[in-house]
Every structure is written in structure tokens, then in C-alpha cells.
Structure 1
Amino acid sequence: MNQATLAADAPDLAQAQADMRAAYWHGAFGVLCSALAWGVAAAVAALGKPQQAVWTLLIAGMFIFPLSMGLAKLAGRAGMHEKTNPLGRLAMFSTFGLLAGCALALGVATQKLEWFFPTMLLVIGLRYLVFTRVYGLRIYQACGLALAAAGLLLGALLFAPSPELKPLGPLLGAATGAIIETLFGITLFVQGRTGR
């Protein structure tokens, strides 16, 4: 099954998406692991260490995929899609966009630290829009748009923050990511119990 076949043959696309859903429990573990990374970053920000919170999110983010694969396997799923599934390549290519977005967010943070988390909310939100195609689930559109909208709103709020609000920016951003992803991750987990 190649990209041209997949684009032209809807049953092949549906089969590829079903393989991704079955292997990764609808992606629920990835979203929940991501929520955990946001949550740990929020805890670090709450301790008054915003720069460490930035690095916490980035470093914890490196463990999301391997941890989610392991959890999927523990839950009785394959934890890996079929090697011939072209949607695996789409997911992999979206990782390059994610890495570029992380670099952009770091660059933004050097100028305005409180904008790091809103930028990351946008970056992660846009990646989840790709997952709409990978998993064939519209819930990823809702999740991606919710994260992106939160990033835009929080960025606007922190454009010229008051002295009282400025130190709370990293905590607000990280906690927002944790809450949104936890809610969608739980929903995906419940939906994914069927394995289809």
C-alpha cells in the first residue's frame, strides 16, 4: 500500500487508520503521557521556576512516544503499527514539524519567556490536526483546535501582562495544556476500549 493507492482507495485508508487505532489505543496513551508532561511542567512552574518548567516540558516530551508505546503493550495492544502502513510515515513526518515548533518556541522564550507555553500549545494543537488523518478520528480536530485556541488566547492575555500576571504565565500555560490533554486523553481512552 503506497501513498498514491492510499489516497485513491478509501477502503485502504480506512484499514490503515484502523491499524493505527488498534495499535495505539486510539492514541489515548500518547495524549495522556503528553498531559503528564504538561502537568509536571506546571508543577515546576508553580515552584517559581519558569525556565526549568520550559526544559521540563521539552525533556519530558522526548519520552512521550516510548512511554505511550509501552503502555499500549501493557494494555494488550501491539504498541506499533504495521510496517507497511503509510500513515506511520505521516505521523513520523509530523514529528519534524513538532521539532521545528519546539525550536521556534525556544526562540520565542529567549525574548519573552511567558510566550513559550502559548507557542507550544499552538504547536501541539497543529500536530493533533494531523492525527485526525492518522487515526481517522475527528476528536483530534477538536483537541487540536482547543489547544491552538488556548495558545492564542493565552498569548494575547500575556502580550502585555500586568506585573502580577507575568510570573503566572508559565503556570497558566502548562496547566492549560495538562487540563485540555487530560480531558481528551480520557475520552480517547474510553473510545479506544473497542480496539477499532
Structure 2
Amino acid sequence: MDQSISEAQADMRDGYYSGAAGILASALAWSIAAGVALTGSAERSIWALLLGGMLIFPVSILISKALGARGTHTKGNPLGQLAGASTFWLVFSMPLAYGLGQQKPSWFFMAMLLVIGGRYLVFATLYGMRLYWVLGLVLAAVAIALAFLAAAPAIAASAGAATEMVFAIICLVQHRQSLRQAVR
């Protein structure tokens, strides 16, 4: 059975708690990187975000399931391929961000904010939610502002953590509201 775009988006929202679990897992990875950066090790904070980033999807599945979602989309959902493609784009961008970080560590975090912000713009289509347009654009604006301020790695990583934590909470609330409306 072929799904319409709106049915596929609803399946993604149902399966992944509207993506809130992923935003939360990402915020946790940024928080760990910020904590490491605060110890004074910019190189280790870069590796903390890279390694933490690799764990975002599995951690988001656990969080989704803990919140009562399936932690997966249905087989054959055409948006699953778009999610996969955006993951490859993220992975392909990481060497560039890492190279920038070798020149100046804070540039790594700013580049990652831009890359992740761009990925969230794709999530607007995956989930059918304008929230992801706002999140993607806010992350891009934060990255640009941090560049103009020549922010230190700890500040840049903390800004990423704080931004994603705020949006994770907003997304959680929106998802719960949609569940309540569906019950009515």
C-alpha cells in the first residue's frame, strides 16, 4: 500500500515522537561536548561531539520508546529514504567541519551548527512540522552570531546544547498536544 506524504509524515511523527527524542539526544551530545570544552580541551570536545553524534540515533530510539513511541517508522515509508539521505549528507559534511576545527576549534562547532541546522530543514518535510524550519534557521543564526563574536569552543558547544534543549522541550510539548487532540 502506497502512503500519501501526509500519512508518511504522520507515521514518522508517531514512530519518533515527532523527532523530539532525536533533538533531545542531540542536545545531550552537545552538552557533553560543552562540558569537555569547559575543561579546556578543545580537541577532546570536538571528539566528544563526533562520538556523541554517532550515538544520537540509537539514543533517540531509546528515548522514543521510553516516551511510548515505536522508535521506528513503518516498513515502506517513503520518507525513510529521505531520512537516510540526510544522514549521509551529515556524515559527508563532518570531515570539512573537522578540518575547520583543526584550523580553529570553535569553527568546528559553528560548522556543525550549520550542518545540523540544514539537516533539520529536511526534517520539516520528514515530520511535516514548521518547528523544524525554525530550529534549522535558529541554529544557522546562532552559528553566524558565534562566528561574528569569535566565540570560544565551550561557548559554541553550550549554545548548541541550549538551543537544541529548548527546541526539544517545544517539540515534546507539541507532540503531547497533538496526542491529546487526536484523543478528542
> Larger Rg: 1 or 2?
1
- 1:73-152 counterparts in 2 under 5 A? 73-152=65-144
- Once residues 183 and 31 of structure 1 are traced to their aligned partners in structure 2, the CA distance between those partners, rounded to angstroms, is 9
- What is the Cα-based RMSD across aligned positions, in Å? 1.4
- Tell me if 1:175 matches 2:158: yes
- 1:39-58 alpha-carbon deviations (Å, 9 max, x no partner): 11111111111110000001
Counterpart in 2 of 1:164?
A: none
Which runs of 5 or more residues in structure 2 are unaligned? none
d(CA) in 2 for partners of 1:83 and 1:174?
36
| Count of residue pairs brought into register by the alignment | 179
**Residue 38 (structure 1) aligned with residue 30 (structure 2):** yes
Q: Deviations over 1:93-139 (max 9, x none)?
A: 00011012211100111222221111111011000000000000000
Q: Distance in 2 between matches of 1:44 and 1:143?
A: 25
Alignment identity in percent? 48
TM (norm. structure 1) is 0.87
Unaligned runs of at least 5 residues, structure 1: 7-11, 159-167
Alignment counterpart, residue 50 of structure 1, candidates 42, 49, 62: 42
Mapped partners of 1:156, 1:115: distance in 2 = 11
